[in-house]
Structure 1
Amino acid sequence: MSHHHGHHHTHDHPDLKGRNLVISILLNIVITVAQVIGGILSGSLALLSDALHNFSDVISLIISYVANKLTKKKASFQKTFGYKRAEILAAFINAATLIIVAILLIIEAIKRFHKPEIIESNLVIWLSLIAIIGNGFSVLLLKKDSKSNMNMKSAYIHLLTDMMASVAVLVGGLLMKYYQLFWVDSVLTFAIAIYLIWMGFDLLINSTKVLMLFTPSSVPIEKIVAEINAFNSIKNVHHVHVWQLNEDEVHLEAHIDFSENITLSEFDAILHDIEDLVFKKYDINHVNIQPEYSKDDAKDVIVQD
C-alpha cells in the first residue's frame, strides 16, 4: 500500500505574541499583589475574588507563553508532530481553571451574602481603577492574535473578563461608598463568577473537541466524500478521518478504491485535484490518501479502527 501526503502552508506573520504575553504577565503580577493586599485591608470579597481571577490570569498567561514557545520547537523521531498541540492544551487548561475559579467564587459569594461586612470602599475604588487600566492595556496587546489562535484567545478571555470584573468591583465600590450597600459586594462576586463560566465554557468545549480528534464543525464529511466520489476512475471513498491538529492544520485521511488499475502518475494527478478541492472549499491543508484497487476491506465511510 502506498501513501501520498500533501499539504498547503499558511503564510507566517511576524510573531509578537511572546513579547505581548510577557508584558501582560508582569502587569498582572503587579495587579494581583496590589489587589490581595487591598482586599485584605478593605475586607472586600469582590476585590479578593478579582485578585484570585488575576492570579489565574498570571498562571494562564505563563501557560500560554510556554505553549507559544513549545510550538516553535522542531519535530523529532520521538515527536513527529513536534509540540503543535501545546497551545490547544494550554487553551483547555486555561478554560478549565476559569470555570473552577468561578465555582469557588460562587461558594464564597453565597457565604458572604448571608453575613455582609463593612468594607473600606475608597481602597476598593482605587485598586479597581488600577486593575481596569492594567488589564485594558493587556487586552489591547492580545486582541489581534486572539482572533486566529485558540491559546491566545484563552489568555485574552481571562484578561477581558478580569477587566470587566474590575469594572463591576468599581461600581460596587462606588455604591458602598455613597449608599452603604455592602451586600452588593457579594452580588457582584456572584455575577463575576457567572460571567467567567459563560466565557470559559465555549472555549473549553472547542479545545476538548480538538484534543479528542473530533471532526471540525465546519467540515461536512458526507459532502466531501460525495464530491471526491464524483471524480473519474474513483469507485469508492471510505475509512475517512478528519481532525484538527492545531489552529493552522486540518487533516484528511482516507482510503480510495479506484475502478481501474491506474498508474502512480495518474494517481498523483487525481490527488492534486483532491488537495485543491478540499483546501479551497473546506480549508483542509493536509491530505493523506491510501489508494486501493479491488481490495477486500470495509467500504464504510467511517470505520472504527
Structure 2
Amino acid sequence: MGHHHHHHSSEIKGKNLLISIILNIVITAAQLVGGILSGSLALLSDALHNFSDVISLIISYIANILSRKEASTNKTFGYKRAEIIAAFVNSATLIVVAILLIKEAIERLISPEQVGSEIVIGLSLLGILANGFSVLLLKKDANRNMNMKSAYLHLFTDMMASVAVLVGGILMFFYGLYWIDPLLTVLIAFYLVYMGYDLLRTSTRVLMLFTPETIEVQKIVESIATIKPVKNVHHLHIWQLNEDEVHLEAHIDFEEDISLSQFDSILLAIEEKVYHEFGINHVNIQPEYGKCDSKQLIVQD
C-alpha cells in the first residue's frame, strides 16, 4: 500500500468570526425590537435572517475550532469534515428562512399594513454598517474555505437585505408605499434561496464522497497508464475530505512481478503526476500482478 500527503492547508483565524457574532447579536436584538415597534415585516424578516446568521456563525466558529483538533485512534480523520457539515447546515437554514419569509410576505402583500418608517430607516443603517464591517472581515477567508464562505454569504445577504430595507423605509417615509415592505421581503428571500442552493449543492457533493467536479476520472486513468509497467487501473475511488484534501485510491495491475523498491519509485511518480495535474494530494495504491479480480474502473463494492 502506498500512501502520500501533499498539504497546503491554511490556518483560518476564528477571531473575525467572533467579532461578527457579537455584532450580529446586537443587530438582531435592535431589529427585533424595532420591527415590533414599527410593524415592519421587512425589518422583522431581517431580524430573523440575522438571528439565523448568529446561529450559523456560531456553528462556523465551533467547526473552525473542531477542524484544528488532532486525529486519534477512534477519529482517524480528526474533525476535518466539521466545516463541511457547518456549510451544509448553514446553507440549508438559509433556504428554510427564505421560504418562511416568502410565506409571510405574500400574506402581507394581500393586506398591507402601515409601518413606522423612521425606525426602519435608522435600524437598516445600523445593519448596513455592522454587516458591512463583518463582510470585510471574512472576505479574504471566504475565497478559500467553504465554511467561511457560508458565514460570509449569510452576512453579505444580510447587508444587501439591510440596503433593501433602507430603500423601502425611505419610500414609505416619503410616499407612504407600504406594499414596498413585503415586496422587498420576497426579493430578499429569493436571493437567499439562490445563494444558499449553490453552497448546499457543493457541501452535499463533498459529504456524499462524490468525485470533485473539476476532476475527470478518465484523464487520471490515462495519465497513470503512461507510467511503465502499469497495465491496468481499476477499482478507483476519488473523493474530497475537506477544503484541502482530495483522496485517490485504486488497484493497479502491473505488467510484471515488480519488487517493492520498484513499486515505491513508481508510486512516487504516480503521486507527483496526480498532484501536479489534478490537485490530488492523498494517494493510496494497491499493487497487483496476475490477480483474478474485477478489472472494471468503478466497482460496486
Q: How does 1:64-213 map to 2 (within 5 A)?
A: 64-213=60-209
Residue deviations 1:43-86, cap 9 Å, x none?
A: 00000000000001000000000000001111111100000000
Partner of 1:43: 39
Question: 2:53 is paired with a residue of what secondary structure?
Answer: helix
Runs of 4+ aligned residues of structure 1 deviating over 4 Å after TM superposition are: none
Q: 1: CA distance between counterparts of 2:262 and 2:214?
A: 30
Structure 1: segments with no counterpart, 5+ residues: none
Residue type of the partner of 2:144? S
Check 1:151–1:255 CA distance in 2 against 1; reply closer, same or farther (3 A cut).
Answer: same
Partner of 1:216: 212
Residue deviations 1:222-268, cap 9 Å, x none?
A: 11101111211111000000000000000000000001000111111
Q: 2: CA distance between counterparts of 1:203 and 1:222?
A: 27
Check 1:112–1:78 CA distance in 2 against 1; reply closer, same or farther (3 A cut).
Answer: same
Residue type of the partner of 2:167? V
**Structure-1-length-normalised TM-score:** 0.98
Question: 1:116 is paired with a residue of what secondary structure?
Answer: coil
Residue deviations 1:263-293, cap 9 Å, x none?
A: 1111111110110111011110000000000
Residue deviations 1:97-137, cap 9 Å, x none?
A: 00000000000000000111010000000000000000000
Question: 1:256 is paired with a residue of what secondary structure?
Answer: strand
Deviation at 1:12, TM superposition (A): 4.0
The answer to whether the 8 Å contact 2:59/2:86 transfers is yes
Residue type of the partner of 1:207? S
Partner of 1:23: 19
Residue type of the partner of 2:20? S
Q: 2: CA distance between counterparts of 1:12 and 1:177?
A: 48
Q: How does 1:250-265 map to 2 (within 5 A)?
A: 250-265=246-261
Partner of 2:263: 267
Structure 2: segments with no counterpart, 5+ residues: none
Q: 2: CA distance between counterparts of 1:227 and 1:150?
A: 29
Q: 1: CA distance between counterparts of 2:204 and 2:43?
A: 32
Residue type of the partner of 1:9? H
Residue deviations 1:157-188, cap 9 Å, x none?
A: 00000000000000000000001000000100
Question: 1:289 is paired with a residue of what secondary structure?
Answer: strand
Residue type of the partner of 1:239? H
| 2:56 equivalent to 1:60 | yes
Q: 2: CA distance between counterparts of 1:12 and 1:212?
A: 24
Partner of 1:9: 7
Q: 1: CA distance between counterparts of 2:62 and 2:9?
A: 23
Of the three residues 272, 295, 299, the one matched with 2:295 is 299
Residue type of the partner of 2:53? D
Deviation at 1:87, TM superposition (A): 0.1
Percentage identity across aligned positions? Answer: 67
Q: 2: CA distance between counterparts of 1:35 and 1:227?
A: 57
Q: 2: CA distance between counterparts of 1:196 and 1:204?
A: 12
Deviation at 1:36, TM superposition (A): 0.2
Residue deviations 1:192-217, cap 9 Å, x none?
A: 00000001000000000000000001
Deviation at 1:10, TM superposition (A): 1.0
The answer to whether the 8 Å contact 2:9/2:244 transfers is no
Q: 2: CA distance between counterparts of 1:25 and 1:192?
A: 21
Question: 1:215 is paired with a residue of what secondary structure?
Answer: coil
Question: 2:173 is paired with a residue of what secondary structure?
Answer: helix
